[in-house]
Amino acid sequence: MIKYKSPGDVAFRIINTTVMAIILVLALYPIIWLVLASVSNPLELHTAPTRLLLWPRGFSLVAYEMVMTNSQLWRAYGNTIIYAVSGTFISVTVSMMGGYVLSRKYLPGRSFFTLFVVFTMFFSGGLIPFFLTVDAVGLIDTRWAMIIPNAVTVFYVIMIITFCRGIPDEMEEAARIDGANDWYIFTKVMMPLAKPIIAVMVLFYAVDIWNTWMFAQIFLRNRALLPLQVILREILVLTNPEMMNLGAQGLVASLELAAFMDAVQYAVIVVSMIPIVALYPVIQKYFISGVMVGAIRG
């Protein structure tokens, strides 16, 4: 237990705690506001003189009822889960393999291949050649268009390279003396040691894929394949009442359209962020150590 003896230590502790508490409130309040607004009475919230919320204005779950009964939204939700789970698995696997190989000193031409990979982080052919390439391999309007073209992020590979360079070469040499081949060393020796950086990659890739909407609009034409973020954009940006079948539900017959659309937007945002918010506590232990190790090893 840390003991604060001097008045300066006590004052620092009080000021530091106060500042951290203020930062915590500022960081969490937007999320708290969304949750409170989504369960407030839409008409009361819309007509209130101020939008500052410390507790719900009235109480209503009508927005969540509309979200739960919207088949198009849940279909997009399922698509996003498919893209996030399969895409994260493929991306983490490929990135780990590439990062591990490029971190090995004995790799012939390692500097050239590393430079070649890093080059793509600063220079690209542009969107049109990218689209033509995806179209040429037959991925347009398929689920693979959301997984394969962006399976590897170079910056994340560099993080993996930095982490793997910190693993002692003696561990790999000992495994080779025991007769292990490259694949066995990678799967049975390196992967268990790389749990922290794998946790970081899982979170980063999952968040990236979960929030992707631009590539879906470029590569997907079939609405049955659209991810959640595209539908969410149509609700938030285009403010399309038809997306939630407004006017066809008795639940909203007595509510103003603008007020209800606001409530639906809040509810959709809350529902869409639940999986990502729930993912972090599961991998928090490995995530923190992975970020720190990747930051201090060179």
pLDDT, tens only, 188-246: 888 888 888 888 888 889 989 988 888 888 898 888 899 988 888 877 766 555 555 55
CB atoms within 10 A of CB 50: 5
Sign of CA dihedral 258, 261, 266, 269: negative
Residues 231 and 213: beta-carbon distance below 8 Å: no
Q: Is 88 within the bounds of a domain? A: yes
Distance CA(115)–CA(79), nearest Å, equals 36
CATH number of the domain bearing residue 235: 1.10.3720.10
Q: Is 20 within the bounds of a domain? A: no
Q: What is the pTM of this model?
A: 0.78
Distance CA(243)–CA(64), nearest Å, equals 14
pLDDT, tens only, 110-167: 888 888 888 888 887 788 888 898 999 999 999 999 999 888 989 999 888 888 888 8
Domain that holds residue 252: 61-296
Q: Is 31 within the bounds of a domain? A: no
Q: Is 103 within the bounds of a domain? A: yes
CB atoms within 10 A of CB 255: 18
Give residue 70's region: left, alpha or beta (phi > 0; psi -120 to 50).
beta
Q: Is 1 within the bounds of a domain? A: no
Q: Give the tokens for residue 160.
A: 């993996």
Residues 76 and 230: beta-carbon distance below 8 Å: yes
Q: Helices in 51-70 by DSSP H: which ranges?
A: 62-68
Q: Is 204 within the bounds of a domain? A: yes
What average pLDDT does range 43-69 have in this prediction? 76
User: Considering its fold, how many domains does the chain have in total?
Assistant: 1
Q: Is 287 within the bounds of a domain? A: yes
Q: Is 236 within the bounds of a domain? A: yes
Helix (H, G, I), strand (E, B) or coil at 27: helix
pLDDT band for position 251 (cuts 50, 70, 90)? very low
